[in-house]
Amino acid sequence: MNVLVVDDDSGLRRTMRLSLELLGHTAVEARDSSQAIQCLERRPFDVAFLDLRLAQEQGLDLLPQMLRLAPGLQVIVVTAFATIETAVEAMRRGAFDYLPKPFTPDQLRVLLDRIAKMRKLQFQVEELEEQVRSVEPEVDLQTEEPQMRQALDVAFKTAPTEATILLRGESGTGKGVLARAIHARSTRSAAPFVTIHCPSLSSELLESELFGHVQGAFTGAVRDTTGKVAAAEGGTLFLDEVGDLPLPLQPKLLRLLQERVYERVGETQTRTSNVRVIAATNRHLEAEITAGRFREDLFYRLNVVEVTMLSLRQRLKDILPLAEHLLRFFVRQNAKAIAGFAQEVRDAMVRYPWPGNIRELRNAIERGVILSPGPWIELSHLPSQIGNPTALDSAALDSNSLDQIEAEHIRHVLASSETIEAAAEKLGINPSTLYRKRKRYGI
């Protein structure tokens, strides 16, 4: 690493430089603040050792300026006058650590090894994020629909606050994508974004997943686990499909929202939590309350700010721009020479009702790119239902016929699919969502 040593003691500077070079690092000396600033302006540094007292200057006064010039710089404050107060103040101003004089070469090595490991982890995270970006298309929250623009405006105005947000809309409309975008625009963006899928587990296992458990709390609990609430500490907890949260667990979530406290399964110790909650549902929660499946008080706690994501069939102006965005990504990912969509495909995409919403559109475009030899994606390259001449004009859809259309479409896809999983993939929804829809429509 490139290391800057800022100290007014020339003997100590030279000793530190030699020690650092023996450890395999490159070291540069600076005797005062002006020389340190000149060094930082001329070249990048990974680490800086900053003396707390620089002749007539205070090292802590220089610290913020160093961090402004080099935001990724790890600054270690060094002093012979070590106190708890100065250590706390150094950390408050942005120091990475605190090293009291006198110190040994071993102490120096251990501290630099820790920084090197942290930097390696940061690089690995950045590399993984880059890999994820290459596998999944970038989020596109642009829209030409005024109602959708209004919904996004409400979401992003609320993002910097601590308000709980309830995202409503059908499966595949991008509720999870919007939740991440809200987190990225919040004051908690540097902290974790943690998702828990409420329909995925039994009540007992979901409670453990959410709050954690202690060893021996139940059969199979061979060690303590922290849970998703603890994992999201300081950040955002995203409750996906909260309408499916089991009734026995709802009072515990309500308590977390109201009092910011919880207990792990099998433990009596009350723990505090600092998380911002965003919830999403495709269910009509008011009907669930009437049926006794969802608590009214929890609903009002979750529904501080409500944002409704429109279905894709309600976003006619956005269908083709979204399709073009996805096409560019999958063409790049698959190294295909495809110029665009044939006109009949463009017409069919606007007519098709997209019951699986953006998720179904994504799957259809990926399939089209894979199957098309180029230069155009034809109807034969897309799932058969998109080009079905009996598909209804989406402009004619209304709220009274929507359920019937969706039910008929699901029957058609199920009849032409070998498995439930294959049908769910064609529809662009999860198998669990397809199960709920079949139960709802009696299919």
pLDDT digits (tens, 9 = 90+) for 407-420: 777 877 887 777 77
User: Over the stretch 284-293, which tens digit does the pLDDT of each residue have?
Assistant: 889 889 989 8
Rounded to an integer, the average pLDDT of 334-362 is 89
> pLDDT over 90 for what percent of the chain?
20
Give the pLDDT of residue 421.
78
CA count, 13 A, side-chain hemisphere, 298: 25
Q: Between these two residues, 389 and 217, which has the higher pLDDT value? A: 217
Strand segments, DSSP code E, in 128-175 are: 165-168
Report the pLDDT averaged over residues 208-236: 80
**196 pLDDT tier (thresholds 50, 70, 90):** confident
CA separation for the pair 251, 249 (Å, rounded): 6
| pLDDT tens-digit readout, 365-402 | 999 999 988 799 999 899 888 877 454 444 344 444 55
Is 224's pLDDT higher than 90?
A: no
Give the per-residue pLDDT at 140: 66
CA distance 421 to 414: 10
Q: In this predicted structure, what is the pLDDT of residue 404?
A: 65
Q: What is the CA radius of gyration of the chain?
A: 28
Domains along the chain with CATH numbers: 2-126 (3.40.50.2300), 146-308 (3.40.50.300), 312-441 (1.10.8.60)
pLDDT over 60 at 138, yes or no = no
Long-range Cβ contact pairs of 290-293 (< 8 A, separation 24 or more): 293/247
d(CA 132, CA 333): 12
Share above pLDDT 70 across residues of the chain, in percent, rounded to a whole number: 88
Residues 253-268, mean pLDDT to the nearest whole number? 88
Residue 192 has pLDDT above 80, yes or no: yes
pLDDT of residue 56: 74
What's the pLDDT at 376? Answer: 92
> Is 133 a residue whose pLDDT tops 60?
no
Tell me 191's DSSP state.
S
- Assess contact for 77 and 103: CB atoms under 8 A: no
Cα atoms found within 13 Å of the Cα of residue 154, Cβ hemisphere only: 16
Residue 393's pLDDT is 46
For residue 350, pLDDT over 60 is answered with: yes
Q: Which of 133, 107, 28 is nearest to 73 (CA)?
A: 28
Confidence bin at 51 (pLDDT 50/70/90):
confident
CB contact at 8 A, 64 and 35: no
Kindly state the DSSP code that residue 187 receives in the 8-state scheme.
T
**What integer pLDDT is reported at residue 82 of this predicted model?**
58
Give pLDDT, residue 220.
Answer: 65
Q: Of 359, 431, 427, nearest to 177 (Cα)?
A: 359
Q: Which pair of tokens denotes residue 343? A: 């006109």
pLDDT of residue 156: 93
Range 3-7 average pLDDT: 88
Which pLDDT value is given to residue 402? 58
73, pLDDT greater than 80: yes
Q: Tens digits of per-residue pLDDT, 76-122?
A: 888 776 566 776 777 777 788 878 777 888 888 888 888 888 877 77
Lowest mean pLDDT: which of 104-113, 253-262, 271-280?
104-113
